[in-house]
Chain A
Amino acid sequence: MAYDVVFSALADPTRRAIVEALRGAPLPVGRIAEGLPVSRPAVSQHLRVLAEAGLVAADAEGTRRVYRLVPEGWAELRDYLDTMWDDALAAYARAARDQARRPPG
């Protein structure tokens, strides 16, 4: 999973609202759209972006598709942040050593 894909997927307030709606229970597109000030096709488009980021998935239920959050996608997001702090603190420590080596003034 490319983290920037997840970042951009979640940068949109409508998509965050969709994620919030799906936290309670899986929902079909129509039900998701009912609670949002955007058209149903727009919701479908947002769901596609979230699915490409690995955050939601759809299951067929009869003739309709029901969307749910994908736990693994969110776990990867946390894993990414863990790695990010490893990298960040290593870079911070390098910068601190460089600063300590510089003569004062």
Chain B
Amino acid sequence: MTDPVKKSVTVPLAPREAFDLFTQGLDGWWPKDLHAPGNGDRSRLAVDPRPGGRLTETRPDGARTSWGTVTHWEPGRRFGLDWHVGRDAEDATHVEVVFTRTDTGTRVDLTHSNWPALGPHAALQATCRAHWDRALRRCYAGCTALCAAA
């Protein structure tokens, strides 16, 4: 089994605020210039706030791309998404975001798992560890994002 991608960040907001920003506020903070399959920063992202709802990207011409299906909608606690950009829903990888109150705000723990759905297992296992090391170095270089491989 390939290790999931795990990331954590602590933000100075209450859990419910952190949850709302992550989900309903997604369009405002998602780095669309870097990571949007449609049309970069002119696309709009929206989350249908219920289990079974879709996370959709809408391009300026109205074309829509589904990024995934909401599996868990627990405001202030947990957001789960079957992430299947460009893939069949049954092939989805799974994204889970857990919000935990801390002394200074909320710790946000993100896990992107079910990697075997993405392709040949052996190759992923062979390269996973090197990728992790590189990603963590890059992440720790940032000023506030705190990433941890569990």
Report A's interface with B, CB cutoff 8 A. Answer: 3-4, 6-11, 13, 16, 23, 69, 71-75, 77-79, 81-97, 99-100
Contact = CB atoms under 8 A, between A and B. Distances in A.
B9 A89 contact: yes
A10 B7 contact: no
Which 8 pairs from chain A and chain B are nearest by CB? A71-B123, A74-B119, A96-B11, A95-B29, A10-B86, A7-B37, A100-B12, A75-B127
B13 A92 contact: no
Contact of B31 (A3, A11, A16, A91): A91
B60 interface: no
A86 to B, nearest CB: 5
B128 A78 contact: yes
A93 B9 CA distance: 7
B31 A88 contact: yes
A100 B144 CA distance: 14
Contacts of A71: 119-120, 122-124, 126
A99 B139 CA distance: 22
30 contacts: A7-B86, A9-B86, A11-B37, A11-B65, A13-B88, A16-B87, A71-B123, A71-B126, A75-B124, A75-B126, A78-B118, A79-B127, A81-B93, A81-B112, A82-B5, A82-B112, A82-B131, A82-B135, A83-B138, A85-B112, A86-B138, A87-B31, A88-B35, A89-B108, A92-B21, A93-B144, A93-B145, A95-B28, A96-B13, A96-B21
B145 A89 contact: yes
A88 to B, nearest CB: 6
Interface string B76-93: 000000000111100101
Contacts of A10: 86-87
A79 B123 CA distance: 12
Contact of B86 (A8, A85, A91): A8
B132 interface: yes
Contacts of B11: 92-93, 96-97, 100
Contacts of A100: 11-13, 105
